[in-house]
Structure 1
Amino acid sequence: MIISLALYFVVMLGIGLYAYKQSTSDVSGYMLGGRNLSPSVAALSAGASDMSGWLLMGLPGAMYLFGLSKAWIAIGLVAGAWANYFLVAPRLRVYTEKANDSVTIPDYFANRFADNKNILRVISAIIIILFFTLYTSSGVVAGGKLFENSFDMSYEMGLYVTTGVVVIYTLFGGFLAVSLTDFVQGCIMFLSLLIVPIVTYSMLDNSVVDTLSTATYDLLLSAPKPDEKVPLDMLNWFAGGSVVAIISALAWGLGYFGQPHIIVRFMSVRSVKDMPAMRRIGMSWMTLSAIGAVLTGLFGAAYMIENQMLIGDKETIFLVLSELVFHPLIAGFLLAAILAAIMSTISSQLLVCSSSLTEDFYKIYLNRSASQTELVLVGRISVALVALVAMFAIYLAYDKDSSILDLVSNAWAGFGAAFGPLVLISLYWKRMNFEGALAGMIVGAVTVLVWFYAPIKVNGEHISTLIYGIVPGFILSSIAIVVVSLGTKAPKKEITDLFDEVEKEL
């Protein structure tokens, strides 16, 4: 296992060195890979940066605990990703290039609405850093659990090793390094999510359906009393759920429209003509990977029941299966897949935050005439600064009982509500203006923060348990954009002319 992981680390750092020599001479090269990524690299990079440690740990863990009733999350995500490729990808690729060659999402917002005072830049950059801190903490939690469970390393040391390697190759290689490593990592994740459930299924003696349909709380999770047998109903898609619960799970798909580390991949592909190929590759990868994650949790539960085994942290089922049913050399490869999932997302988040600090703070407020070489240097320094912020994320991750899926869900909802309606409506509605954009961004972000963290209860239940926070956040943000845009002055001619220019290009 150590040999496999050592080879993985060497390859990742080697890619960072290669990218350092290839495409870091200007800020577009460092932040967007020169807008020259192939469809396959862009697609797998988007998928790998999207599907962090939660795909190999959080989602299989949820399936292990609750069965098919949690598969609605995977269905919502696949549907949302498909919609993102159709509704956002082509238009955003053209618009960001036409809008003064925007290289970050805050940059696009400012140029789209002619925000000369840079209010949209600043607020969106603050939102990015805020929610990425939460998002990054989910990745380092997964890394800590990996090293603790597989290598007898302390949980805390695992957090620092995970963060350290990612910072190094992101620091030197920039967007190209992140995208190329994501491509390799996406391939590793894909193969692992096919291999683990298939091999686990082949080792089962009984029917999965029979085993899971009769599963009880004492068999799978260990009951408070040895003789207590509570049915789990793991194969019931609607077990313990309501229509609202299903809507909450499916609503994960809404988050795609506002994830900066994902939609920035659309900006980096070499041509809008490559979008169909990128979509086919990306959706094939995602659909099969999501199915693999769901089956890993279900087949893992069946394997544990058959062999009368219990595991403490249910989110480590992928780790446990890798070590139980595979040769150590293959197990090391599979563990590298978890590292790949973790690192691909953290590196993307580091780069997005670095891009915002460079383009949206340094260039605007400190040195408008900065050379390309200087901006790349500032970008690298920003990665190091963001890594210091990540130390706070590591502090948040010190709680071993932290749920990877819960940490991701909060950040996902924050980005989806703050940026999703803004991105989507700005690409299709000419009448949208600066005031509407600002209102939508603030309303979406505040709604999610209040929904998850304010001590508000309804009938004794915290409001976050009623429905997933992205639902009220997305709806209120959309309403704010439309109402405020219609209630204030129409956008200037230069803004509508740019919109028309983009329309002709598509």
Structure 2
Amino acid sequence: MTESTWFVIAIVIYMFTMLAIGYWSYVHTSKYDDYVLGDRGLNPFVAALSAGASDMSGWLLMGLPGALFVSGLSELWIAVGLLIGSFVSWSIVAPRLRSYSEIAQNSITLPSFFGNRLRDHTRSVRVTAALIIILFFTFYVSSGMVSGGRYFEATFGGDYLTGMIIVAAVTVAYTFIGGFLAVSYTDVVQGLIMFLALILVPTMALLTLDNPADIFTWATEHDYGPWTDGTGNPEFFSMFTGVSVATLIGHLAWGLGYFGQPHIVIRYMALRRPSEARRGRMWGILWMGLCVLGALATATVGTVFFSQNPDIAVTDREAFETIFLDMGRILFHPLIAGLVLTAVLAAIMSTMSSQLLVVSSSLIEDLMTIFLKKRPEEMVLVNLSRTAVVAVSVVAAALAVNPNDSILGLVAFAWAGFGSAFGPLMLFSLYWKRLNTAGALAGMVTGAVVSFVWGSVEALSGTIYEMVPGFAAAALVTWIVSSVTRAPSAEVQSDFERASKLAEIAESDPDVDIAEAGRRLEA
């Protein structure tokens, strides 16, 4: 059989696995809370890998190895920022949000939590948050579909539109059928595929080298990839060469995004108990750290691997983002190589499915239901959410049919946009009693607008990553407006104090859930 045939077989195996998980999730989904939040029954291992897989996307497998291959360890700062941000987020946001979201009228979406936390009867905070999510994530989902089409185009030499439709159809199918459980458990499988591929590929490449120790000196002494002047890249192993203070701050600031990413924090809300955030943090940081090391190993080994044999070369001769894929193709039997290549597809689909579910939940839970006089029955809400998944995917697919720079460019702002709009608001919601509706609304809008404008203006975006001014502006505006306007009602402040006490009880004892914490507090 031809190489492409083996690749197709591997992809079919992967796709049917995803659909099987979707069906299993469908069987275990009997009510609306199941479909949107897994009925808050996610174990920490699943929550951690699901959050990681939906976060990292193709950047971990293609963007990071390519950047490290070209520039060296100076490109690691974003990964360092993400690791720090993820650790801090699991530490201070996850346990408190798990407690407070249940206390705040059992909030099952991020906008509903913000609205219920403030008892915002105007619904302005909830609606604004939902609109920000729907706008940005619809384009984000579209970008995932574009990536899926490009993947099929590059891997099989096939038609872009056909590949896009296949990836979109399977992702929509298991999300439509199984909801949150399907998205979470497929993310686990996808996260494991990404992890195993990132460990296996550089390890096997290392074993093929004439002298494995060359990986520590080759890049600094020999030509490779883009370095062709006879001296290699002498600063390959330096993390500081060519990195300005502004660049360093901007790269580390990527970690701030974790506080406000809707598709990540929703996993915190779905944990079984607040105390399980500790184990989630352990699994999440371990997975992310090993994956980053795998990406680093891929780049470092790649400098020797592609130089040692003149008969092989990196397909992408500009950004060198295909070194991981090229290694997999060269090293393994086509069937195994095909399974390795599915790691990229897994990264694309895990992110896209998480975003689809968040958007559909915001459409139904945060926009439609709040304007209805009577809340629909459970299964009606489930079916409406499924309908929303399809509707969003159709819009995203329409945008992806003819991809252009405006769509893909907007995605570059999404991480900073969500981090700036929701990150400060999340921290204030969980830890500041004085937060009020006016401050929350002003800060959220400020963060989104500042990060978007800053990232759109080349003269500004070239100075520092838009997350920094966006996050800072949102935090400052939230604090100022909340301080100079009317304090939240006594009821809201009482809710905050009770939530804080319940959270402390639930976080301190691994056997206590919120209901038991409430009984202990009353006693």
Partner of 1:481: 478
Bigger shift: 155-164 or 274-283?
A: 155-164
AA paired with 2:10? S
Query: Once the 2 structures are TM-superposed, how far is the Cα of residue 421 of structure 1 from its aligned partner?
Result: 0.6
- Deviation for aligned residue 1:273: 2.5
Give RMSD over aligned pairs.
2.1
* Counterpart residue number, 2:217: 210
- Distance in 2 (alpha carbons) for counterparts of 1:34 and 1:165: 24
Q: Is the 8 A contact 2:138 2:359 kept in 1?
A: no
On the 8 A contact 1:66/1:232 being kept in 2, the answer is no
- In structure 2, the residue matched to 1:326 is 332
Q: Which amino acid aligns with 1:139?
A: G
Partner in structure 2 of residue 266 of structure 1: 268
1:14-413 map, 5 Å: 14-23=20-29, 25-206=30-211, 207-216=214-223, 219-221=224-226, 231=233, 233-308=235-310, 309-312=313-316, 314-366=320-372, 368-395=374-401, 397=403, 409-413=412-416
Is the 1:106–1:360 contact (alpha carbons within 8 Å) kept by the matching residues of 2?
Answer: yes
Cα deviation for residue 136 of structure 1 reads 2.7
Q: Are the aligned partners of 1:194 and 1:289 in contact in 2 as well (CA < 8 Å)?
A: yes
Deviations 1:81-100 (CA, angstroms, capped at 9, x unpaired) = 00000010000001110001
Cα distance between partner residues in 2 of 1:389 and 1:197: 39
Runs of 4+ in 1 over 6 A off after TM superposition: 227-230
- Give how far 1:203 is off: 2.0
Amino acid at match of 2:276: D
Give 3-state SS (helix, strand or coil) of 2:42's partner.
coil
Could you tell which deviates more after superposition, 12-21 or 207-216?
Answer: 207-216
Deviation digits for residues 258-287 of structure 1 (CA, Å, limit 9, x no counterpart): 100000000001111322222211111111
Q: What is the TM-score of this pair, normalised by structure 2? A: 0.89
Change (3 A) 1:109 1:332: same
Provide the rounded CA distance (Å) in 1 between the counterparts of 2:411 and 2:59.
8
Q: Return the TM-score normalized by structure 1.
A: 0.92
Deviates more, 1:238-247 or 1:318-327: 238-247
1:440 aligns with 2:443: yes
Structure 1 pair 144–172 and aligned structure 2 pair: CA distance change class (3 A)? same
Deviations 1:99-119 (A, max 9, x none): 011010000011011111211
Q: Which runs of 5+ in 1 are unaligned?
A: none
Higher mean displacement: 278-287 or 406-415: 406-415
| Further displaced range: 261-270 or 113-122 | 113-122
3-state secondary structure, aligned to 1:149: helix
Q: Deviations over 1:145-197 (max 9, x none)?
A: 32122212123432222222101110111001111111111111111111112
Q: Distance in 1 between matches of 2:172 and 2:124?
A: 29
- 1:430 pairs, out of 433, 444, 447, with 433
Corresponding residue to 2:452 among 437, 449, 458: 449
| CA drift at 1:317 | 1.8
Say if 1:303 and 1:155 are closer, same or farther in 2 by CA, change over 3 A: farther
- SS of residue paired to 1:251: helix
Q: Which residue of 1 aligns with 2:494?
A: 497
Any idea what the Cα deviations from partners look like across 1:411-464, whole Å, max 9, x if unmatched? 11111101001101210000111111111100000001101224xx6xxxx211
1:409 deviation in Å? Answer: 4.1
Contact 2:221–2:231 at 8 Å: present in 1 too? no
Aligned partner of residue 88 in structure 1, secondary structure: helix
User: Distance in 2 between the 1:322 and 1:394 partners?
Assistant: 28
User: 1:334: how far off?
Assistant: 0.8
User: Residues 437, 324 of structure 1: CA spacing in aligned structure 2 closer, same or farther, 3 A cutoff?
Assistant: same
1:18 deviates by: 1.2
Cα deviations across residues 197-250 of structure 1 (Å, max 9, x unaligned)? 21122222340122111354xx41387xxx797857322212332111111111
Q: Is the Cα contact below 8 Å between 2:78 and 2:251 reproduced in 1?
A: yes
Identity across the alignment (%): 47
Native 8 Å contact 2:314 2:323 kept in 1: no
CA distance in 2, matches of 1:205, 1:245: 37
How far does residue 480 in structure 1 lie from its aligned partner after superposition?
0.5
SS in structure 2 at match of 1:315: coil
Q: Corresponding residue for 2:464?
A: 467
Q: Distance in 2 between matches of 1:306 and 1:139?
A: 35
Q: Which amino acid aligns with 2:488?
A: P
Structure 2 Cα separation of the partners of residues 160 and 73 of structure 1: 32
Gaps of 5+ in 2: 1-6, 505-523
Change (3 A) 1:155 1:228: farther
Deviation of 1:134 (Å):
4.0
Contact 1:138 1:407 in 2 (8 A): no
Q: Deviations over 1:446-491 (max 9, x none)?
A: 001101224xx6xxxx211111000000000000011111011111
- Kindly tell me the number of residue pairs found equivalent between the two proteins: 491
Distance in structure 2 (CA, Å) of the matches to 1:126 and 1:370: 22
**Residues in 1 aligned to 2:416 and 2:303: alpha-carbon distance in whole angstroms:** 29
Deviations 1:364-385 (A, max 9, x none): 1245421111111110011011
